[in-house]
């Protein structure tokens, strides 16, 4: 590998130049090994934030991050594989019913997931509310479970894209999280290294999402789809609304309960709709669009796959889930039509109740969270329960209530209401 100088690379990008393949390969490798200092990489990250990167640059940057670690392969499995990644939202429990549903349709799902940070929930935190369930699996355990069950949701091992782990932590403290080339390469380096045959991206848009505007979300989605395509992975992105939280719950155990309701044939309509739509995209990418996931969901086969998946990772699918020690009901202040329920307000309330964390090492409360008893478009009556707040620590209620203040609107009865579509765009 050609040796370069960190200052030379920083100056090239600071001046709006295009980094060469050799410069990119060297700086990622040298940073992973500790030869490039954090302050130097933070300068480069800021230059990327301000000046952007070309498609070939982002593709090479992603390939270099993949090359910093191992690359998995599921080609020995007897069925195709498909994965899904969400950019994160509030009440976004879709992975929980989706993975067993797609597995029940004959496509294996190697779902590497993460933990929550701030107002967005983490899939692993939700599943860890199930007694006995464990997130850490070896590659051998993961492969065996995919072969036997067809679905696995687990933590990514340290061997996948270690350069990304180091750079992600740096971006978090240097004001460079928003750089789209770095967001896209962070997500896609892990997903490509994971070795899935096809990938569906759920890019959230709105107040409760990382991307607040549709144009920004479209740019991120297009960048990630290009990266997947350049790496030979069939990749599609759906842009979905996150101005309103998904379903009726935001929290860990309560989102598991809602997911099981979906697998049992019930659950909120928006969660069911998005689960089925993402399943269709995953099946299409894996060459199995002859199967209708809506029929499979109704048959109960997805519930069977869920139970096997949870049990395979040490969990008891029949165990009672943790329940918060304290609850507080927020009543509707007036009668009329609920016209707005802000996803960020709900997400912050759930976080402040203990369902999320401010730092990666913080613990979470399994039973904490928010239940909302109406969705935009519903008629409400003054005094009826609008929210139920759940926590083990009652001194958390005041800050959660402050988060919800101004987070919803009730209009007079008869006010026309038009719901925002759940699916906003599709990029392939």
User: Which residue numbers are catalytic?
Assistant: 85, 164, 171, 186, 190
What are the DSSP calls for 103-149, one per residue?
Answer: HHTT-BEEEEE---BTTB--HHHHHTTSTT------HHHHHHHHHHT
Residue 56's alpha-carbon distances to 101, 108, 227, 344, in angstroms, are: 36, 31, 9, 35
Model confidence pLDDT, tens digit, residues 149-158: 999 999 988 8
Which secondary-structure segment (H or E) carries 423? strand 423-427
CB 83 within 8 A of CB 199: yes
What are the DSSP calls for 176-233, one per residue?
Answer: -TT-HHHHHHHHHHHHHHHT-SEEEEEEEESTTSSB-SHHHHHHHHHHHHHHHHHTT-
Quote the tokens at residue 176: 């460079």
CB 86 within 8 A of CB 204: yes
Quote the tokens at residue 228: 């997947």
Model confidence pLDDT, tens digit, residues 196-220: 999 999 999 999 998 999 999 999 9
User: In a 3-state reduction of DSSP, which class is residue 339?
Assistant: strand
Model confidence pLDDT, tens digit, residues 363-392: 899 999 999 999 999 999 999 999 999 999
CA distance 220 to 188: 11
pLDDT per residue as tens, the chain (428 positions) = 788 999 999 999 999 999 999 999 999 999 999 999 999 999 999 999 999 999 999 999 999 999 999 999 999 999 999 999 999 999 999 999 999 999 999 999 999 888 876 677 789 999 999 999 999 999 999 999 999 999 999 998 888 899 998 998 888 788 888 899 999 999 999 999 999 999 999 999 999 998 999 999 999 999 999 999 999 999 999 999 999 999 999 999 999 999 999 999 999 999 999 999 999 999 999 999 999 999 999 999 999 999 999 999 999 999 999 999 999 999 999 999 999 999 999 999 999 999 988 777 788 999 999 999 999 999 999 999 999 999 999 999 999 999 999 999 999 999 999 999 999 999 99
Count the neighbouring beta carbons within 10 Å of the beta carbon of residue 335: 14
What is the per-residue burial (b if ≥16 Cβ within 10 Å, else e) of 291-310? bebbebbeeebbbebbbbbb
CB 96 within 8 A of CB 220: no
Model confidence pLDDT, tens digit, residues 12-48: 999 999 999 999 999 999 999 999 999 999 999 999 9
pTM over 0.85: yes
Average pLDDT value over all residues in the chain:
95
pLDDT of residue 331: 98
CA distance 313 to 69: 25
The domains found in the chain, sorted by start residue, are 6-52 (1.20.970.10), 82-312 (3.40.1030.10), 326-411 (3.90.1170.30)
Strand-pairing partners, residue 327, are 390
151-155 and 109-113 beta bridge pairing: parallel
User: In a 3-state reduction of DSSP, which class is residue 384?
Assistant: coil
CB 258 within 8 A of CB 223: no
CB 102 within 8 A of CB 279: yes
Residue with tokens 């309103």: 244
Cβ neighbours for 243, distance < 8 A, ≥ 6 positions apart: 205, 206, 207, 208, 342, 343, 420
Burial of 401: CB neighbours in 10 Å, binned 0-12, 13-18, 19+ = middle
Q: How many CA atoms lie within 13 A of 94 on its CB side?
A: 29
User: In a 3-state reduction of DSSP, which class is residue 8?
Assistant: helix
Instruction: State CA 280 to chain mean position distance.
Output: 18
CA distance 274 to 422: 8
CA distance 111 to 99: 7
CB 277 within 8 A of CB 423: yes
Strand-pairing partners, residue 330, are 387
CA distance 96 to 7: 45
């Amino acid at each position: 590998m050609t040796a370069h100088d960190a200052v030379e690379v920083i100056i090239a990008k600071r001046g709006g130049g295009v980094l060469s393949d050799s410069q990119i390969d060297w700086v990622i490798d040298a940073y992973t090994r500790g030869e490039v200092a954090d302050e130097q990489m933070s300068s480069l990250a800021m230059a990327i934030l301000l000046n952007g990167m070309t498609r070939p640059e982002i593709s090479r940057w992603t390939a270099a991050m993949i090359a910093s670690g191992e690359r998995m392969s599921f080609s020995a499995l007897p069925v195709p594989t498909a994965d899904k990644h969400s950019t994160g939202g509030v009440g976004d429990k879709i992975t929980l019913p989706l993975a067993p549903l797609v597995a029940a349709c004959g496509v294996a799902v190697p779902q590497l997931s993460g933990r929550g940070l701030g107002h967005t929930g983490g899939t692993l935190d939700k599943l860890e509310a199930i007694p006995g369930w464990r997130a850490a699996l070896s590659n051998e355990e993961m492969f065996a479970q995919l072969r036997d069950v067809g679905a696995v949701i687990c933590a990514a091992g340290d061997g996948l894209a270690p350069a990304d782990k180091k750079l992600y932590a740096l971006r978090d403290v240097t004001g460079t999280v928003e750089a789209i080339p770095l967001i896209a390469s962070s997500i896609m380096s892990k997903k490509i290294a994971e070795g899935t045959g096809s990938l569906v991206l759920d890019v959230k848009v709105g107040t409760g999402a990382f991307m607040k505007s549709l144009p920004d979300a479209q740019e991120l989605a297009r960048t990630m789809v290009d990266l997947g395509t350049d790496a030979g992975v069939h990749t599609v992105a759906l842009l979905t609304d996150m101005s309103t939280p998904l379903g009726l719950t935001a929290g860990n155990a309560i989102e598991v309960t809602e997911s099981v309701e979906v697998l049992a044939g019930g659950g909120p309509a928006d969660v069911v709709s998005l689960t089925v739509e993402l399943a269709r995209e995953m099946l299409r990418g894996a060459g199995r669009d002859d199967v209708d996931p809506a029929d499979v969901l109704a048959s109960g086969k997805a519930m069977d796959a869920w139970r096997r998946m949870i049990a395979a990772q040490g969990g008891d699918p029949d165990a009672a889930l943790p329940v918060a020690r304290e609850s507080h009901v927020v009543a509707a202040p007036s009668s009329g039509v609920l016209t707005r329920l802000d996803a960020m307000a709900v997400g912050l309330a759930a976080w402040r109740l203990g369902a999320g964390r401010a730092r990666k090492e913080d613990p979470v409360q399994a039973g904490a969270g928010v239940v909302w008893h109406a969705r935009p478009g519903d008629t409400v009556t003054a005094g009826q329960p609008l929210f139920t707040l759940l926590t083990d620590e009652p001194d958390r209620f005041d800050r959660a209530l402050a988060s919800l203040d101004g987070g919803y609107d009730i209009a007079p009865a008869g006010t026309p209401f038009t719901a925002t579509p759940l699916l906003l765009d599709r990029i392939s």
